[in-house]
């Protein structure tokens, strides 16, 4: 049962009289009173989409269907290309054009509250999916915003208070792709040569049902499943021809970090990061991709034999954990990966004679320096810490509507932000591995995400750069592109420059290890 938006006011009048509530399955007076948002008729939308979150049964493994949560979508207005379905359990891919005005009718048909977040998009507070805007079953929240991001690969997912991890795990995620004129001029591979790959790890019961954990130790580390899904399926064989492709890769996992590499040792060519295309292509031996990060690859199969295969893997790596105190070694170790995991196999099934050439310049990007910052003496801290077996940011766990003085950001400013491990600041020598949970905290990587505008990474410093463990990951970071999520490894201190333009209000920053987020490793910036 959904309530058509135009009828909403009328509906509220009826329910106020107590006439209709009993006749509507799944809708009670209490739920209707608790929230939602109606459309603003003065907002002239170019594209309108209905997205419903609901329980569904889908085929993932051979045999029994799997019970999941799924976004199902319907295009109500706009170009047919605005919505493309993926066959698995993920939501439809939303394809938007920069400058478009978008209205999304979100209906919650789940047996629990839910809210949607447009990860990577620059939108006002009420459109950003802050958990304070969660709606109950039977309610509707209408999101309306103008797409003003650069062309790139973003995504949407549930962001419900203390339920983000379980809801995303059960399927509440999808891709959101932005295109623009500057990107079209590059004539990158498109259509069937532009392939999205959403990588997630899951575990299944004997009866093919999703299995989630949670002992305390697993929770502290975040969920790691034993089965890799690509686009919601396990049989990830992708037929390709002998030419160049664009791969849009999203790590949609709760906590697992991938070290992407080709099985035959071919280096990877990156053309995009989280929020946009790179200024120019970059070649790396492997790429570290943490939860919520995106990377776009240029893969050229020209010259490969028809009938041959190339497999994208997650290569073995170790988490730098040499500072850890006694007893915590196992935890640090478990966050790494001991053998190669296959992710997707590309089967070269056909020959074509021509292929686009990789442009040597992509989308220009001016590198920001201290001169571009509003107050270059001021550094906004994001201190990663731990107390009482829970992760914190700036010494606090999540508070729904509160912020600290240091979390206040003046509107329309550019800020230096330093992300570091509390107790492990640069220049303080060895980190305090001995103190209680400190060792375990220091041993963990944290993908830190900041809502709102994309930022630039200015520096990445490692206090233990010489360790052999760090050697297994250090060549896999792309710090030269637009980012909204940055992987902060143990012992690392990262400085970024981020704009806070256009919109006032509360905007989240948090660890995108979703178990960490749900344990409270999240805070608000107040922009105003
Ligand atoms: Cu993708 Cu606040 O999250
Ligand atoms: Cu986000
Ligand atoms: Cu974390």
Q: Is the CB of residue 469 below 6 angstroms from any atom belonging to ligand 1? A: no
Q: Scanning the structure block, which residue is given the tokens 């958990």?
A: 131
Residue nearest (by alpha carbon) to ligand 1 atom 3: 119
Domain topology for 370-527 = Immunoglobulin-like (2.60.40)
CATH topology of domain 3-185: Immunoglobulin-like (2.60.40)
Q: Is 119 in the pocket of ligand 1 (CB under 6 A)?
A: yes
Q: Are strands 485-488 and 446-450 parallel, antiparallel or unpaired?
A: antiparallel
Q: Is the minimum distance from the CB of 510 to ligand 1 under 6 angstroms?
A: yes
Q: Tell me how far the alpha carbon of residue 311 lies from the centroid of ligand 1, in angstroms.
A: 29
Give CA–CA dist 17/25, Å, rounded. 17
CA-CA-CA-CA dihedral for 437, 443, 447, 450, to nearest 10: 50
Q: How many CB atoms lie within 10 A of CB 377?
A: 7
Q: Which ligand is nearest to the CA of 292?
A: 1
Q: How far is the CA of 508 from the centre of ligand 1 (A)?
A: 8
Ligand 1 neighbourhood includes 202 CB (under 6 angstroms): no
Q: Which ligand is nearest to the CA of 421?
A: 3
Q: Tell me, what's the pLDDT at 4?
A: 38
User: How many C-alpha atoms does 133 have within 13 Å on its Cβ side?
Assistant: 23
Give the distance (Å) from ligand 1 centre to CA of residue 200.
Answer: 16
Q: Cβ(449) to ligand 1 under 6 A?
A: yes
Instruction: Kindly give the number of the ligand 1 atom that is closest to the alpha carbon of 510.
Output: 2
CA pair distance 392, 77, nearest whole angstrom: 43
Using the atom order of ligand 1, give the atom closest to the CA of residue 451.
Answer: 2
Query: Cβ(523) to ligand 1 under 6 A?
Result: no
Strand partners, 247: 195, 297
- Regions of the chain with pLDDT less than 70: 1-34, 320-334, 424-442
pLDDT tens digits, one per residue of 442-453: 578 999 999 999
At the top level of CATH, the class of 191-350 is mainly beta
Q: Does ligand 1 have an atom closer than 6 angstroms to the CB of 516?
A: no
**If we measure between CA atoms, which residue out of 151, 193, 200, 207 comes closest to residue 176?**
151
Which ligand 1 atom is at minimum distance from the Cα of 155? 1
Calculate how far, in angstroms, residue 521's C-alpha sits from the geometric centre of ligand 3. Answer: 7
Ligand 1 atom nearest 157 alpha carbon: 1
Nearest ligand 1 atom to alpha carbon 129: 2
Ligand 1 in reach of 159 Cβ (< 6 A): yes
Structural contact between residues 317 and 332, judged by C-beta atoms closer than 8 angstroms? no
Burial 324-334 (b: 16+ CB within 10 A, else e): bbeebeebbee
- Per-residue pLDDT of 125-138, as tens digits, reads 999 999 999 999 99
Closest ligand (CA of 453): 2
Q: Is 508 in the pocket of ligand 1 (CB under 6 A)?
A: yes
CATH 2.60.40.420 in the chain: give the residue spans. Answer: 3-185, 191-350, 370-527
**DSSP characters for 251-277?**
E--SSPPEEEEETT-PPEEEEE-SSSE
Tell which residue, 93, 107, 98, 100, has the closest CA to residue 54: 107
117 lines ligand 1 (CB under 6 A): yes
Ligand sitting nearest the alpha carbon of 290: 3
Q: How many A from CA of 453 to the centre of ligand 2?
A: 10
Distance, CA 446 to ligand 3 centroid (Å)? 4
Q: How far is CA 167 from CA 38, 88, 247, 251, in A?
A: 24, 16, 26, 16
| Helix H or strand E segment including 497 | strand 492-500
Taking residue 40's Cβ as centre, other Cβ atoms within 10 Å add up to 11
Instruction: Give the DSSP H/E element, type plus range, for residue 160.
Output: none
Report the alpha-carbon distance of residue 477 to residue 171 in Å, rounded: 28
Residue 316 is classified by DSSP as P
Q: In 326-430, which ranges are continuous DSSP H helix? A: 329-334
Adjacent-strand bridge partners of 155: 119, 175
Q: What's the pLDDT at 81?
A: 97
Token pair listed for 277? 């295309």
Element (H, E) at 440: helix 438-442
User: What is the C-alpha separation between 472 and 338, in angstroms, rounded?
Assistant: 11
Distance from the alpha carbon of residue 156 to the mean position of ligand 1, in angstroms: 8
CB of residue 451 inside a 6 A radius of ligand 1: yes
> From CA 292, how far away is CA 488, in angstroms rounded?
13
Q: Are 133 and 126 in contact (CB under 8 A)?
A: yes
Q: Which two tokens stand for residue 465?
A: 């750069």
d(CA 181, CA 178): 11
Distance CA 456, CA 463 (A): 21
Q: Which ligand 1 atom is at minimum distance from the Cα of 120?
A: 1
Six-digit token string for 334: 């478990």
Closest by Cα among 247, 354, 261, 239 to 306: 239
The ligand whose atoms approach the alpha carbon of 159 most closely is: 1
What is the rounded CA–CA span in Å between residue 246 and residue 124? 31
Please give the distance, rounded to the nearest whole angstrom, from the Cα atom of residue 510 to the centre of ligand 3. Answer: 8
What pLDDT was estimated at residue 336?
Answer: 87
Q: How far is the CA of 516 from the centre of ligand 3 (A)?
A: 5
CA distance 483 to 276: 8
Closest listed ligand to the CA of 157? 1
Tokens at 276, concatenated: 């946009």
Q: Are 213 and 256 in contact (CB under 8 A)?
A: no
d(CA 125, CA 19): 35
Is the beta carbon of 130 within 6 A of some atom in ligand 1? no
For 260, the token pair is: 């992407």
Ligand nearest the Cα atom of residue 447: 3
């Amino acid at each position: 049962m959904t309530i058509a938006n135009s009828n909403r006011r009328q509906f509220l009048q009826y329910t106020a009289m107590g006439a209709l509530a009993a006749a509507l399955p799944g809708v009670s007076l209490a739920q209707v009173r608790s929230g939602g948002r109606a459309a603003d008729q003065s907002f002239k939308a170019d594209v309108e989409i209905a997205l419903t979150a609901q329980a569904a049964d889908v085929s993932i493994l051979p045999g029994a269907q799997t019970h999941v949560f799924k976004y199902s979508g319907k295009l109500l207005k706009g170009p047919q290309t605005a919505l493309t379905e993926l066959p698995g359990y993920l939501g439809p891919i939303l394809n938007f054009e920069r400058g478009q005005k978008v209205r999304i009718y979100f209906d919650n048909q789940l047996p629990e509250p839910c809210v949607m977040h447009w990860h990577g998009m620059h939108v006002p507070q009420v459109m950003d999916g802050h958990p304070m805007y969660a709606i109950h079953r039977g309610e509707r929240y209408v999101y309306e915003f103008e797409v003003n991001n650069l062309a790139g690969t973003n995504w949407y997912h549930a962001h419900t208070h203390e339920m983000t991890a379980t809801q995303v795990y059960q399927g509440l995620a999808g891709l959101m792709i932005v295109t623009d004129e500057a990107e079209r001029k590059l004539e990158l591979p498109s259509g069937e040569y532009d392939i999205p790959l959403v990588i997630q790890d899951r575990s299944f019961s004997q009866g093919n049902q999703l299995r989630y954990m949670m002992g305390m130790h697993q929770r502290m580390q975040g969920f790691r499943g034993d089965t890799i899904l690509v686009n919601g399926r396990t049989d990830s064989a992708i037929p390709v021809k002998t030419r160049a492709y664009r791969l849009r890769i999203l790590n949609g996992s709760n906590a697992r970090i991938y070290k992407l590499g080709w099985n035959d040792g071919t280096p990877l060519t990156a053309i995009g990061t989280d929020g946009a295309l790179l200024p120019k292509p970059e070649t790396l031996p492997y790429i570290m991709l943490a939860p919520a990060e995106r990377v776009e690859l240029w893969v050229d199969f020209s010259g490969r034999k028809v009938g041959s295969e190339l497999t994208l893997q997650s290569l073995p790596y170790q988490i730098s954990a040499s500072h850890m105190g006694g007893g915590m070694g196992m935890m640090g170790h478990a966050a790494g990966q001991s053998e190669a995991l296959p992710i997707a196999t590309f089967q070269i099934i056909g020959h074509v004679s021509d292929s686009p050439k990789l442009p040597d310049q992509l989308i220009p990007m001016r590198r920001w320096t201290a001169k571009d910052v509003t107050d270059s003496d001021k550094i906004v801290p994001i201190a990663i810490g731990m107390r009482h077996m829970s992760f914190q940011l700036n010494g606090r766990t999540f508070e729904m509507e509160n912020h600290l003085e240091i979390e206040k950001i003046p509107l329309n400013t550019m800020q230096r932000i330093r992300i570091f491990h509390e107790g492990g600041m640069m220049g303080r020598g060895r980190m305090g591995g001995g103190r209680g949970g400190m060792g375990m905290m220091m041993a963990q990587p944290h993908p830190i995400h900041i809502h709102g505008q994309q930022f630039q990474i200015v520096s990445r410093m490692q206090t233990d750069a010489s360790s052999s463990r760090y050697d297994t990951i250090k060549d896999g970071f792309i710090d030269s592109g637009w980012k909204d999520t940055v992987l902060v490894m143990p012992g690392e201190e990262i400085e970024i420059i981020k704009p806070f333009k256009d919109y006032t209000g509360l905007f989240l920053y948090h660890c995108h290890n979703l178990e960490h987020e749900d344990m409270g490793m999240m805070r608000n910036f107040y922009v105003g």
